[in-house]
Amino acid sequence: MGNSGNTPVKAIENIEILRESVPLRPEEEAWLRSGKENPGLPLRITPHYLKLMKKDLSGALRRMAIPRGEEWTVLDYETPDPLHEEPYEVVHRCIHRYRDRVLVLLTDACALYCRYCFRRRFTGENRGVLGDEEIRAVKDYLESHPEVREVILSGGDPLMLPDRKLDSIIGILGNAGSVRSLRLSSRIPVVLPSRITAALAGILSSGPRVWQVIHINHPAEISPEFLAAVDLLAKRGIPMLSQSVLLKGVNDDPEILAKLFRGLVAAGVKPYYLFQGDLAPGTSHLRVPLSRGLSIFRELSSMVSGLALPAYAVDLPGGGGKVRLGAEAIAGLHDGEYHIRSIDGRIFRYPEEPV
Ligand X SMILES: *Cc1c(COP(=O)(O)O)cnc(C)c1O
Cis peptide before 69 (omega within 30 of 0): no
Give contact residues for ligand SF4 (rule: CB under 6 A): 110, 113-114, 117, 119, 123, 155-157, 187, 215
Regarding 95 and contact with ligand X (CB under 6 A), the answer is: yes
Least distance from C-beta 67 to ligand SF4, angstroms? 12
Give the phi and the psi of residue 349 in degrees, each rounded to 5: -110, 140
Q: Is 312 a catalytic residue?
A: no
Cβ-based nearer residue to ligand X, 101 or 209: 101
Regarding 97 and contact with ligand X (CB under 6 A), the answer is: yes
Least distance from C-beta 88 to ligand SF4, angstroms? 17
Q: Report H helices in 147-208.
A: 163-173, 188-191, 198-206
Residue 205, SS3?
Answer: helix
The pattern of x and - marking residues 47 through 86 that bind ligand X according to CB under 6 A reads: ------------------------------------x---
Q: What CA–CA distance (Å, rounded) separates 354 from 81?
A: 46
Q: 62, 63, 119, 287: which is the annotated catalytic residue?
A: 119
Q: Is 259 a catalytic residue?
A: no
From the list 127, 120, 118, 185, the residue with the least C-alpha distance to 151 is 185
Residue from the set 84, 209, 236, 322 that interacts with ligand X by CB under 6 A: 322
For CA atoms 180, 172, 124, 72, the dihedral sign is positive
From the list 317, 261, 311, 270, the residue with the least C-alpha distance to 118 is 317
Which segments within 131-280 are labelled E, that is strand? 150-154, 181-186, 209-215, 240-245, 270-275
DSSP 46-71: -HHHHHHHHH-TT-HHHHHHS--GGG
Regarding 200 and contact with ligand X (CB under 6 A), the answer is: no
Regarding 152 and contact with ligand X (CB under 6 A), the answer is: yes
Q: Is 94 a catalytic residue?
A: no
Least distance from C-beta 284 to ligand X, angstroms? 21
Q: Is 248 a catalytic residue?
A: no
Q: Is 278 a catalytic residue?
A: yes
Q: Which stretch binds ligand X (CB under 6 A): 92-100, 115-123, 168-176, 218-226?
A: 92-100
* Partner that binds at residue 152, options ligand SF4, ligand X, none, CB closer than 5 to 8 Å by kind: ligand X
Cβ-based nearer residue to ligand SF4, 109 or 176: 109
Regarding 141 and contact with ligand X (CB under 6 A), the answer is: no
Side by side, the strands of the sheet bearing 347-351 are: 330-334, 337-341, 347-351
Q: Is 117 a catalytic residue?
A: yes
Q: Report H helices in 80-131.
A: none
Q: 97, 139, 248, 287: which is the annotated catalytic residue?
A: 97
Q: Is 119 a catalytic residue?
A: yes
- Name the packing angle between helices 290-303 and 254-267 (round to 10°): 50
Cβ-based nearer residue to ligand X, 167 or 278: 278
* Partner that binds at residue 123, options ligand X, ligand SF4, none, CB closer than 5 to 8 Å by kind: ligand SF4
* Partner that binds at residue 101, options ligand X, ligand SF4, none, CB closer than 5 to 8 Å by kind: ligand X
Chain centroid, CA 143 distance in Å: 28
Question: Which active-site residues does the annotation give?
Answer: 97-98, 101, 110, 114, 117, 119, 278, 315, 322
